[in-house]
């Protein structure tokens, strides 16, 4: 810039040279187009400005006097209309192609869209053959159909909306914990414990032959985590409120609509509590806070599901947020099931594990709103659940949150902080040596505490009304399926 200015000032001006100089200044100082996301374009703050928008063509229509494109970059459900001269049309400009458009952002004369981009240049960045592309313009594809293309389904309106909702829900959950004094802990993905005790573990081994046969890379068998709870309990000895949010793994040989081999869990631990009510309050408040945030910040995306994928589900969500969540005991739940005229595939007697059909019935019985079930039989719960010795029947201070359409969403308990009872329980199940470190937590500054875990994908199913858990996660992993 300085060299150009010096050169211009060193030339003796003439009329023709001045014209050339002025042209050079205007050309050289021409403002670079402002790069906008589609969502920013709709704000209207750049009306009249020269802008650049990059994205993918969602529809294309050519008329005698104008070329119309709808452009989307994933930042918004709504696409930006581009109006251009037919001269800018090109054979490579097709549905699904990636483009870069520059032009002037103007107020749209059409009622359904606030702005449009009047293009002066369209550059095709990536071509797309619309014949081979599995998704077609103006065609509504089912979630089952787009599930066949895990590498491409993010290009559809439904799945891009799901991913924006998922992102916003993640933000909302982190915000809830931050605002309520919880410290986030990054619990390990690789662990040597089986927190749930169900044995559904993926063992981690090196693929190379560096470790001699019969030896373990970590000196002990190691697995992909099924829960971060035990690690949170370690941290709850120094922090009164902790949480973690990350992937967990279960080696269940199931291809049902409810199960995944890899999913995400939100887990929290609260110290200095001897009441299940303290835990149920956190569960309910988090559910409400996150859901209200998503409904407020992802209204268009949520509406897409509630109008076109799961019609009428919005009323169910609003009703859930309106009512307080009732609390019943496991014993009361069994009584409700036994009095029911409905025939269940699984038996309903005190001591049985509640199945999905039971959970859904209980939710319906309580008015189709989330319901807490407390005080489960002691033998149904893991070793760390607190023993309710004062109850008529041997139960544990455990709680599940059941929600419409899904069944169990959260599971939690008070933890057994009494050293003698915990040691006896571990001896009973043959785990005293394995969990000697866990006993240390009770020996050095132990306090009454409790916690819970929430299945994040099940939460999304609940608020969107989606039937299959495979449709609320970017890349579903389940038995016999790991395509990418």
- DSSP assignment of 228-259 equals SHHHHHHHTTT-SEEEEEEEEE------STT-
Report the domain count for the chain: 2
Shared-domain flag, residues 171 and 106: no
Q: Percent of the chain scored above 90 by pLDDT?
A: 77
Residue 22 lies in a domain: no
Shared-domain flag, residues 281 and 424: yes
- Predicted local confidence at residue 124, as pLDDT: 96
Range from 27-41, 83-97, 454-468 carrying the lowest mean pLDDT: 27-41
Shared-domain flag, residues 108 and 239: no
Range from 12-16, 155-159, 219-223, 418-422 carrying the lowest mean pLDDT: 12-16
Position 210 pLDDT exceeds 80: no
Residue 276 lies in a domain: yes
Give the pLDDT band (50/70/90) at residue 430: confident
Residue 227 and residue 232: Cα distance in Å, rounded? 10
Residue 13 lies in a domain: no
- DSSP assignment of 6-44 equals HHHHHSPP-HHHHHHHHHHHHHHTPPPPEEE-HHHHTT-
- Predicted local confidence at residue 19, as pLDDT: 38
Shared-domain flag, residues 162 and 111: no
Residue 91 and residue 449: Cα distance in Å, rounded? 66
- Predicted local confidence at residue 200, as pLDDT: 86
Q: What is the mean pLDDT of the chain?
A: 90
Residue 251 and residue 226: Cα distance in Å, rounded? 9
Shared-domain flag, residues 92 and 208: no
Q: Percent of the chain scored above 70 by pLDDT?
A: 91
Please compute the mean of the pLDDT values over residues 348-354 and round it to a whole number. 95
Shared-domain flag, residues 88 and 192: no
Shared-domain flag, residues 375 and 322: yes
Residue 277 and residue 423: Cα distance in Å, rounded? 26
Residue 16 lies in a domain: no
Shared-domain flag, residues 61 and 104: yes
**Helix (H) or strand (E) run with residue 83 in it:** strand 80-84
Range from 125-139, 201-215, 348-362 carrying the lowest mean pLDDT: 201-215
Shared-domain flag, residues 187 and 91: no
Shared-domain flag, residues 158 and 269: yes
- Predicted local confidence at residue 12, as pLDDT: 37
Shared-domain flag, residues 422 and 464: yes
Residue 480 and residue 466: Cα distance in Å, rounded? 23
- Predicted local confidence at residue 457, as pLDDT: 98
Position 130 pLDDT exceeds 60: yes
Cα-based distances in Å from 274 to 188, 359, 397, 413: 28, 26, 10, 10
Residue 370 and residue 301: Cα distance in Å, rounded? 23
User: Contact at 8 Å (CB) between 384 and 415?
Assistant: yes
Shared-domain flag, residues 234 and 270: yes
Residue 423 and residue 418: Cα distance in Å, rounded? 9
Q: Which of 108, 126, 144 is the last residue of a domain?
A: 126
Please compute the mean of the pLDDT values over residues 161-167 and round it to a whole number. 98
Position 214 pLDDT exceeds 90: no
What CATH number is attached to the domain comprising 454?
3.30.930.10
Report helix angle 456-464 to 157-179, nearest 10: 120
Please compute the mean of the pLDDT values over residues 439-459 and round it to a whole number. 96
Position 23 pLDDT exceeds 60: no
Residue 462 lies in a domain: yes
- Predicted local confidence at residue 337, as pLDDT: 97
pTM: 0.89
**Helix (H) or strand (E) run with residue 3 in it:** helix 2-10
Position 208 pLDDT exceeds 70: yes
- Predicted local confidence at residue 76, as pLDDT: 94
Q: Within 220-365, where are the H helices?
A: 229-235, 276-297, 299-304, 313-322, 330-339, 356-365
Residue 19 lies in a domain: no
Position 3 pLDDT exceeds 50: no
Position 329 pLDDT exceeds 70: yes
- Predicted local confidence at residue 218, as pLDDT: 82
Identify the domain containing residue 258 by its residue range.
153-471
Position 211 pLDDT exceeds 60: yes
Position 7 pLDDT exceeds 60: no
- Neighbouring CB atoms inside 10 A of 130's CB total 14
Please compute the mean of the pLDDT values over residues 418-431 and round it to a whole number. 92
Residue 72 lies in a domain: yes
Q: Which of 126, 142, 177 is the last residue of a domain?
A: 126
Range from 55-64, 174-183, 428-437 carrying the lowest mean pLDDT: 428-437
Residue 388 lies in a domain: yes
Per DSSP, the three-state class of 467 is coil
What CATH number is attached to the domain comprising 100?
2.40.50.140
Please compute the mean of the pLDDT values over residues 171-195 and round it to a whole number. 94
- Predicted local confidence at residue 227, as pLDDT: 94
């Amino acid at each position: 810039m300085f060299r150009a200015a010096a050169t211009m000032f060193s030339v003796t001006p003439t009329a023709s040279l001045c014209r050339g100089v002025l042209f050079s200044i205007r050309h050289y100082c021409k403002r670079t187009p402002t790069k906008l996301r589609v969502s920013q374009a709709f704000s209207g703050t750049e009306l009249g400005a020269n802008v650049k928008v990059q994205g993918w063509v969602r529809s294309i229509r050519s008329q005698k006097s104008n070329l119309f494109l709808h452009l989307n970059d994933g930042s918004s459900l709504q696409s930006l209309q581009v109006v251009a001269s037919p001269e800018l049309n090109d054979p490579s400009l097709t549905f699904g192609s990636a483009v870069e458009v520059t032009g002037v952002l103007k107020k749209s004369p059409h009622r359904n869209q606030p702005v449009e981009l009047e293009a002066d240049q369209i550059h095709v960045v990536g071509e797309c053959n619309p014949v081979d592309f599995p998704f077609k313009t103006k065609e509504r594809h089912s979630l089952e159909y787009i599930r066949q293309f895990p590498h491409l389904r993010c290009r559809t309106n439904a799945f891009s909306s799901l991913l924006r909702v998922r992102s916003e829900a993640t933000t909302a959950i982190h915000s809830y914990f931050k605002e309520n004094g919880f410290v986030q802990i990054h619990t390990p993905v690789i662990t040597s414990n089986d927190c749930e005790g169900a044995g559904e573990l993926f063992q981690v081994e090196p693929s190379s032959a560096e470790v001699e046969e019969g030896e373990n890379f970590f000196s002990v068998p190691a697995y992909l985590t099924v829960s971060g709870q035990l690690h949170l309990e370690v941290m709850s000895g120094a922090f009164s409120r902790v949480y973690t949010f990350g992937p967990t793994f279960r080696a269940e040989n199931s291809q049902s609509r409810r199960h995944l081999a890899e999913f995400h869990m939100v887990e929290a631990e609260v110290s200095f509590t001897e009441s299940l009510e303290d835990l149920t309050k956190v569960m309910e408040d988090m559910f409400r806070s996150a859901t209200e945030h998503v409904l407020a910040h992802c209204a268009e995306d949520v509406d897409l599901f509630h109008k076109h994928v799961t019609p009428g589900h919005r009323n169910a969500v609003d009703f859930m947020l309106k009512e307080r969540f009732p609390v019943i005991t496991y014993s009361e739940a069994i009584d409700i099931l036994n009095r029911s005229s409905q025939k269940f595939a699984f038996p309903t007697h005190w001591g049985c594990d509640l199945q999905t059909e039971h959970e859904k019935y209980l939710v319906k019985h309580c008015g189709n709103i989330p319901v807490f079930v407390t005080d489960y039989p002691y033998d149904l719960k893991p070793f760390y659940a607190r023993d309710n010795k004062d109850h008529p029947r041997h139960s544990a201070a455990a709680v599940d949150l059941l929600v419409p359409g899904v069944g169990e969403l959260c599971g939690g308990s008070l933890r057994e902080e009494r050293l003698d009872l915990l040691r006896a329980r571990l001896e009973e199940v043959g785990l005293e040596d394995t969990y000697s470190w866990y006993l240390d937590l009770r020996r050095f500054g132990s306090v009454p505490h409790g916690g819970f875990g929430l299945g994040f994908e099940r939460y999304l199913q609940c608020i969107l009304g989606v039937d299959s858990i495979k449709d609320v996660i970017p890349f579903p992993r389940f038995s016999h399926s790991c395509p990418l």
